[in-house]
Amino acid sequence: MNLLAPLRPSPARPSSLIRSNPLSRVSARDDFAIEARHVNFSVPTRQGAPVSILKDCSVSIPAGQLWMLLGPNGCGKSTLLKILAGLLAPTAGKVYVRRPRSFVFQNPDHQVVMPTVEADVAFGLGKSNLTLEEVRSKVFQALDAVGMSDYMQRPIQTLSGGQKQRVAIAGALAEACKVLLLDELTTFLDETDQIGVIKAVKNSLDKSEEVTALWVTHRLEELEYADGAIYMEDGKVISYGDPARITDFIKDKQAAYINDINC
């Protein structure tokens, strides 16, 4: 079995928003919303030799799909996500991500800052030349996509963690975000909020074929919602493609690990 074989991309969709990343250019293909080619990332140390965190990572994620990124603690998932978000520059390699793109943090309190739900989702539209009615309409549509349109006037501090995550996602959608980069959103959520956030992301992708999402998670059961998955270990992409295949791959690894411990 070729574990590195990627999925075939979905049929090409028009992209009006292709722009290159000034940090690291790669020619864009319309059918992929996210591409990383031979990406390396290392950090300098006081001792001299830099520490290598990402090693020759390559992935291609078709537009309009929800992909999940998994791997053990410290394997480099968040670092890769930050590079795709433009928050870090790769040491080597090329990156292409459709714009606008948005990074949603694990802790929504770092991102959801306005007093009410409506004000928070409208926040990013402040610099646009939209009328008040147009802003309200965009805010409503974005909240509707994540199942929160009944919460427009709710004070932020009355929301659960999962509801705040959905407001953060709505903020990105209101700004016509084409790529959502989601960093372990469900780690601190109970099961109801966890499913609510995943369904909100799926629904927002279904409502707009142009939105693509990459979701970092530790929870294998979330793969059932994914169109594709990436498994990393020790800074490397070990396998990517069909979520069922990746699930089996990880389960086999876990079984082998438990077997080793018991021997």
Give the rounded distance of the alpha carbon of 41 from its chain centre.
19
Task: Tell me whether residue 96 or residue 231 sits nearer to ligand ATP (CB atom).
Answer: 231
Q: Is 53 helix (H, G, I), strand (E, B) or coil?
A: strand
In whole angstroms, give the CA distance from residue 230 to residue 241. Answer: 7
Q: Is 159 helix (H, G, I), strand (E, B) or coil?
A: coil
In whole angstroms, give the CA distance from residue 95 to residue 252. Answer: 31
Footprint of ligand ATP on 46-65 (CB under 6 A): 51, 53
* Interacting span for ligand ATP (CB under 6 A) from 9-17, 77-85, 125-133, 241-249: 77-85
Of 177, 24, 30, 33, the closest CA to residue 95 belongs to 24
Residue 45 C-beta: closest distance to ligand ATP, Å = 8
Residue 75 C-beta: closest distance to ligand ATP, Å = 4
Residue 5 C-beta: closest distance to ligand ATP, Å = 23
74 binds ligand ATP (CB under 6 A): yes
Of 39, 66, 68, 75, the one binding ligand ATP by CB under 6 A: 75
Task: Tell me whether residue 58 or residue 116 sits nearer to ligand ATP (CB atom).
Answer: 58
In whole angstroms, give the CA distance from residue 34 to residue 211. Answer: 11
Please state, in angstroms and as integers, the Cα–Cα distance from residue 121 to each residue in 66, 125, 151, 154, 204, following that order.
22, 8, 11, 12, 15
Site string for ligand ATP, 180-199 (x = CB under 6 A): --------------------
In whole angstroms, give the CA distance from residue 248 to residue 225. Answer: 15
Footprint of ligand ATP on 79-118 (CB under 6 A): 79
User: Which tokens sit at 197?
Assistant: 């956030």
* Interacting span for ligand ATP (CB under 6 A) from 72-80, 135-143, 195-203, 204-212: 72-80
Of 27, 73, 129, 259, the one binding ligand ATP by CB under 6 A: 73
How big is the site for ligand ATP, counted in residues (CB under 6 A)? 11
User: Which tokens sit at 248?
Assistant: 């089996």
In whole angstroms, give the CA distance from residue 254 to residue 236. Answer: 18
Task: Tell me whether residue 36 or residue 117 sits nearer to ligand ATP (CB atom).
Answer: 36
Of 10, 20, 40, 78, the one binding ligand ATP by CB under 6 A: 78
Residue 155 C-beta: closest distance to ligand ATP, Å = 31
Of 254, 62, 100, the closest CA to residue 176 belongs to 100
Residues that bind ligand ATP (CB under 6 A): 43, 51, 53, 71, 73-79
